[in-house]
Each structure stands twice: as structure tokens, then as C-alpha cells.
């Protein structure tokens, strides 16, 4: 028996990285999944990996009509919707002075308004099912920390926290919960597109656990949080960061931004 048997999930960003891993994990856990992405080829590959168990819905989280259509697919094909996993995201680096207004709007549009759109499109179907619905948004370590050259991304990911806290309160008496899951340094196309290889090594080695995470590792938290045992957590932010948020360059005595953290472990 799977942890998500009989449940129906909409997963945005299911064509790559964390979203693909979550969609496939939900399928393995027994859920029926509508995978949503603007990248039709990536989404088709995810469906292949799922042995056809996932239904593809090509669309853009900035376009509510395409999300409405994906929710309609979930209802028509699988009889309803229980889980919204809003994972689609983009990033681009650039200081406040360098970044164009268009890039700022694109980042805020996908990462923040896109989650709003997914939640708004799916909520009527969740309410129709009654208690047990789950809204999960993919945050980031940048939901809790600042980042030079990442102001738009950081603002979008901080904004998610406020959005989800508020949705959680609005739904608190319905039995539907809303939470953020915030990874750091996941080995995906997004990370490799934005960060040069040398800096990826730096990110890995300056993480206390000394490595990046995998999409599958992050997906495990999305499965648990989508499940039936998490009803008492709502409006929360589950940080899955290998200890990054614990670091404080004042107290480690090292410049975290420049020096990999090395920890000597004694046998005693
Ligand atoms: N990779 C990391 O280090 C990292 C760390 C923290 C948080 N995250 C978050 O994880 C989430 C997934 O990122 P990833 O690393 O798997 O990246 P990824 O690029 O591998 O996957 C992102 C997916 O989202 C899709 N997408 C982008 N914009 C879209 C839109 N407007 N409409 C529909 N689909 C869209 C892309 O086509 C892609 O398939 C993002 O929200 C990201 O911010 C990633």
C-alpha cells in the first residue's frame, strides 16, 4: 500500500528537476498525477519515466487558463484533486542595478504569482473533496536568507512564505493545509544554468553536510508533507538545506561566502 493511494496531485514544474522527482515519487506512492510544465519535451520524458502513469498538462503557471485546464483534467480523469505541489521556478542572477525590470517581473511572476495561480486554480477542487487537501509550495533557502545578486529570486521566495501563511490561515478550519518546503543547493538544470561549475563546487562544500542534495531527496519531503499524517502542520516552512541556515560567519570564524567550511571529526 502506498502512502498516497487514491490521492490525486497536480505537480507544476514536473518536466525537470525537483518537480519531476516529486511527480514520479507521487506516482510510486499510489497517487494519480497531472504533471504540469511549459516544457512539453521535458514533461513527455517525465511521463515516459512514469511508465505512462502520469498525465501531461502543458501550460504556463503565469497563465491561469492553462492551470484551470490542468485541474479540469485531474477532475475528469481522476475524479478530483487532493494535492497541489507548486514547484515550477526560475532564477537569474544580477544585482539590483544590473537586472532588467523584465527579468525581475519574470522571476516574481513564475516563482510567486505562479504559486498563487496554482493554488487559486486548484483550491475549489480541494474544497470539493473536503479535509485532507494539501497545498505545497517549493521555497528555497532564499526563503529565509538574503542573496547578493539574487534580489528578485530572494524576494519571490520570501513572498511565498507570506502567501502560504495567509492561505493556511484562510483554510485552517477546512482540514486543508498549506506549507512551504525549502531546499538548498539541489543538483538540477536550474542550478547548473545559473551557477558556474566552480561556484557549484563551492556551494556543495560550503554546505555543512558537504554536498548538494538530489531532487529525489527533496521529493521525499514532498511525499511526507502530502500525506495523511501532517494535518497539524500548516503555514510552515520545512527547510531542507543540509544545515546551511545554521551557518553564521561571525561565530564559525570563517568567511562562509568565500571559504569552504571544514570540520575535523575526532575519534574520541
Ligand atoms: N536547484 C536548486 O538548487 C534549488 C534550490 C532551492 C529551491 N529550488 C526550487 O526548486 C524548484 C524546482 O527547480 P529545479 O531546480 O528543479 O529547476 P529545473 O529548471 O530543473 O525545473 C524547473 C521546471 O519548472 C518549469 N517551469 C519554469 N517556468 C515555468 C512556467 N512559467 N510554467 C510552467 N513551468 C515552468 C521548467 O520548464 C522546468 O521543467 C524551483 O521552485 C526552484 O526555485 C531549487
More confident of the two residues 121 and 131:
121
User: What is the distance, to the nearest Å, from the Cα of residue 260 to the centroid of all Cα atoms in its chain?
Assistant: 27
Cβ 150 under 6 angstroms from ligand 1 = no
Could you tell me the domains of the chain?
A: 8-196+212-248 (3.40.50.720)
pLDDT of 53: 87
pLDDT at 258 over 70: no
Q: Which atom of ligand 1 is nearest to the CA of 193?
A: 19
Task: Tell me what percent of the chain is helix, strand and coil, each rounded to the nearest 5.
Answer: 45, 15, 40
The residues with which 138 forms a beta bridge, in sequence order, are 181
* Cβ(59)–Cβ(67) below 8 Å: yes
In this prediction, residues 80-86 reach a mean pLDDT of: 98
Categorize the per-residue pLDDT at 249 as very low, low, confident or very high, splitting at 50, 70 and 90.
confident
- Atom number, ligand 1, closest to the C-alpha of residue 62: 31
Q: Determine the average pLDDT of the residues in 197-216.
A: 94
- Look up cell 525590470; give the residue: 101
Nearest in space to 134 (alpha carbons), one of 254, 50, 22: 22
Compute the distance between CA of residue 243 and CA of residue 7 in angstroms, rounded to an integer.
Answer: 32
Give the span between the Cα atoms of 60 and 69, in whole angstroms. Answer: 11
Catalytic residues: 153
Q: Is 206 in the pocket of ligand 1 (CB under 6 A)?
A: no
Which triple of cell numbers denotes residue 162? Answer: 507570506
Kindly give the pairing relationship between strand 83-86 and strand 54-58: unpaired
Please work out, in degrees rounded to the nearest 5, the angle formed at the alpha carbon of residue 144 by the alpha carbons of 138 and 147: 100
Q: Which of 11, 14, 15, 19 to mutate to test ligand 1, by most ligand atoms within 8 A of the CB atom?
A: 19
| Predicted TM-score of the model (pTM) | 0.94
Task: Read off the pLDDT of residues 159-194 as tens digits, 9 standing for 90 and up.
Answer: 999 999 999 999 999 999 999 999 999 999 999 998
- Lowest-confidence segment of 48-57, 128-137, 171-180, 250-259 by average pLDDT: 250-259
Helical axes 151-171 vs 101-108, angle rounded to 10°: 30
| Model pLDDT, residue 263 | 56
Q: With a cut of 60, say whether residue 265 has pLDDT above it.
A: no
On average, the pLDDT of the chain sits at 93
Q: Residue 126 in contact with residue 77, Cβ under 8 Å?
A: no
For ligand 1, whether the C-beta of 174 sits within 6 Å is: no
Mutation pick for ligand 1 pocket among 11, 14, 18 (CB with most ligand atoms within 8 Å):
18
**pLDDT > 60? residue 262:** no
Out of 11, 42, 45, 88, give the residue to mutate to test ligand 1, the one with the largest number of ligand atoms within 8 Å of its CB: 88
62 C-beta closer than 6 A to ligand 1: yes
Residue with grid cell 503555514, as numbered in its chain: 235
Q: What is the mean pLDDT of residues 12-32?
A: 98
Q: Which atom of ligand 1 is nearest to the CA of 21?
A: 16
Helix residue spans in 6-150 (DSSP H): 17-28, 40-49, 64-78, 101-108, 114-129
Q: What is the number of the ligand 1 atom nearest to the C-alpha of 138?
A: 41
Amino acid at each position: 500500500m502506498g502512502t498516497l493511494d487514491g490521492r490525486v496531485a497536480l505537480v507544476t514544474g514536473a518536466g525537470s528537476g525537483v518537480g519531476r522527482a516529486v511527480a514520479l515519487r507521487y506516482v510510486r506512492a499510489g497517487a494519480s498525477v497531472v504533471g504540469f510544465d511549459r516544457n512539453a519535451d521535458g514533461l513527455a520524458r517525465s511521463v515516459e519515466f512514469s511508465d505512462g502513469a502520469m498525465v501531461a498538462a502543458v501550460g504556463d503557471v503565469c497563465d491561469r487558463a492553462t492551470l484551470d485546464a490542468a485541474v479540469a483534467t485531474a477532475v475528469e480523469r481522476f475524479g478530483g484533486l487532493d494535492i497541489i505541489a507548486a514547484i515550477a521556478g526560475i532564477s537569474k542572477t544580477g544585482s539590483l542595478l544590473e537586472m532588467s525590470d523584465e527579468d525581475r517581473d519574470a522571476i516574481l511572476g513564475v516563482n510567486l504569482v505562479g504559486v498563487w495561480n496554482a493554488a487559486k486554480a486548484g483550491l475549489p477542487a480541494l474544497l470539493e473533496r473536503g479535509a485532507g487537501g494539501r497545498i505545497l509550495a517549493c521555497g528555497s533557502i532564499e526563503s529565509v536568507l538574503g542573496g547578493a545578486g539574487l534580489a528578485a529570486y530572494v524576494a519571490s521566495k520570501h513572498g511565498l512564505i507570506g502567501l502560504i501563511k495567509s492561505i493556511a490561515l484562510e483554510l485552517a478550519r477546512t482540514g486543508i493545509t498549506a506549507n512551504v518546503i525549502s531546499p538548498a543547493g539541489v543538483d538540477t538544470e536550474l542550478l547548473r544554468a545559473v551557477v558556474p561549475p566552480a561556484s557549484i563546487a563551492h556551494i556543495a562544500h560550503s554546505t555543512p553536510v558537504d554536498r548538494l542534495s538530489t531532487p529525489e531527496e527533496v521529493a521525499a519531503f514532498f511525499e511526507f508533507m502530502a500525506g495523511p499524517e501532517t494535518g497539524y502542520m500548516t503555514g510552515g516552512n520545512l527547510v531542507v538545506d543540509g544545515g546551511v541556515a545554521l551557518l553564521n560567519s561571525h561565530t564559525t570564524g570563517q568567511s562562509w561566502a568565500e571559504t569552504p567550511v571544514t570540520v575535523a571529526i575526532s575519534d574520541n
